[in-house]
């Protein structure tokens, strides 16, 4: 059985590998200072953890932990949101439904969703949301 910490570390490791294999995209991690590049894309990672859900009838039987790994593909205005959409599509292809999360018993629950380009201040972001779960 995996712990939540192991699942998160593995998910973050997979994001690092993805970024490295796609031109060395810089990554803004949760709770870590980050200065976005002046040009080109970067990734912004956030993690949403849901409550666990019991699936056993008897007290103490199994439960499922769910969460969402959200990866924003960011760019400066005028940088071309189509490039960001292309990277978001690669994220979607990389984390397909039922993909095992390396080194854990967690899997991707459903095909990742992709948002429309969203403008936040001085950046445009396209989000890919990856739902995952594992048994406790």
pLDDT in tens, 62-89: 788 999 999 999 998 876 657 889 999 9
Residues 129 and 1: their CA atoms lie apart, in Å, by 24
Q: Is the pLDDT of residue 124 over 70?
A: yes
Distances (CA, A) of 21 to 28, 56, 57, 90: 17, 41, 44, 11
Residues 86 and 96: their CA atoms lie apart, in Å, by 16
User: Which CATH architecture describes the domain 4-135?
Assistant: 2-Layer Sandwich (3.30)
Ranges of each domain in the chain: 4-135
Average pLDDT over residues 113-130: 92
When pLDDT is cut at 50, 70 and 90, the band that residue 13 belongs to is very high
Q: What is the pTM of this model?
A: 0.90
Q: Let me know: does 46 contact 125? Beta carbons within 8 Å.
A: no
- Paired tokens of 91: 């994220």
């Amino acid at each position: 059985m995996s712990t939540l910490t192991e699942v998160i570390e593995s998910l973050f490791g997979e994001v690092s590998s993805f970024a490295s294999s796609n031109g060395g995209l810089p990554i803004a991690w949760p709770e870590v200072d980050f200065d976005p590049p002046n040009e080109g894309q970067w990734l912004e990672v956030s993690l949403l953890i849901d409550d666990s859900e019991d699936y056993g009838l008897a007290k103490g039987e199994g439960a499922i932990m769910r969460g969402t790994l959200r990866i924003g593909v960011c760019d400066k205005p005028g940088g071309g949101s189509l490039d960001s959409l292309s990277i978001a599509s690669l994220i979607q292809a990389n984390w397909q439904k039922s993909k095992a999360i390396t080194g854990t018993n967690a899997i991707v629950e459903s095909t990742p969703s992709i948002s429309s380009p969203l403008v936040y201040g001085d950046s445009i972001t396209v989000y890919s949301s990856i739902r995952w779960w594992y048994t406790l």
